[in-house]
Amino acid sequence: MTTGSPRSRPARIIRYTHSCVRIERDGAALVIDPGIWSEPSALRGADAVLITHEHSDHIDVPRLAGLSAPVYAPADARISGLGTVRVQPGQPFTAAGFNVTAVGARHAPVFRGEPDCANHGYLIEDRIYHPGDALVIPDQPVETLFVPLQASWLKTAEAISFLRAVRPERAFGIHDAQVNSRGLDGANGWLTEKGGHGYRYLAPGEGSDL
């Protein structure tokens, strides 16, 4: 029998290409943002999927259409060809046995408010936070934070400030599929030196116990 509160029960994260993260606990698997660049193995045996927003680097619709597990997405997301469980901003719900709360409402703007689409970050078990394509700061402490490293809507200084504002116990870089190794080394160096808070980089396929 599994004992202890959800916060005290161990979990494992496995990072996949770009923004895709898999969280495993007690034999259940929750996958966040399996996009067109992430490995198909991320979804193997998945019990539920969380989608932060409609952009293809975060959702691979054809792949998910053949999945039997429920897919949760923002209620205002424009996703065709796939049935989803619609989630409102701030809504708490349960997915694959994990307690989840949607954080934030809109995608970060690139230029003059564009692109404008729904985006939810997800706070899982009140301890793990994946922000999607926005830097909304949750209104409670976070143990584990996923930090976007590179995007058309993002500056490195903003990523550092985000990490410092959330103040997690540990942090891992995501959203990096469009940057080469030199740029990746630079971003990771800045986050490590100036961001602090246990920041480290997991290459695709690497995992960490929480």
Please write the tens of the pLDDT for every residue from 158-186. Answer: 999 999 999 999 999 999 999 999 999 99
Tell me the mean pLDDT in the region 73-79.
98
| Domains of the chain: total | 1
In a domain, 73, yes or no: yes
In a domain, 3, yes or no: no
Name the pLDDT band for 9 (thresholds 50, 70, 90). confident
In a domain, 4, yes or no: no
- 14 DSSP assignment: E
CATH number at residue 108: 3.60.15.10
**Residue 4 has what pLDDT?**
46
**pLDDT tens digits, residue range 41-69?**
999 999 999 999 999 999 999 999 989 99
In a domain, 7, yes or no: no
Q: Which residue has the higher pLDDT, 181 or 114?
A: 181
Range of the domain at 140: 12-209
In a domain, 6, yes or no: no
**Residue 8 has what pLDDT?**
62
In a domain, 62, yes or no: yes
Whether residue 38 contacts residue 176, with contact meaning beta carbons closer than 8 Å, is answered with no
In a domain, 68, yes or no: yes
Q: Give the Å distances, CA to CA, from 145 to 20, 83, 131, 138.
A: 13, 28, 8, 11
Close Cβ partners of 150 (under 8 Å, ≥ 6 residues apart): 175, 176, 178, 179, 183, 184, 187
Whether 10 has a pLDDT exceeding 80, the answer reads yes
**Residue 172 has what pLDDT?**
98
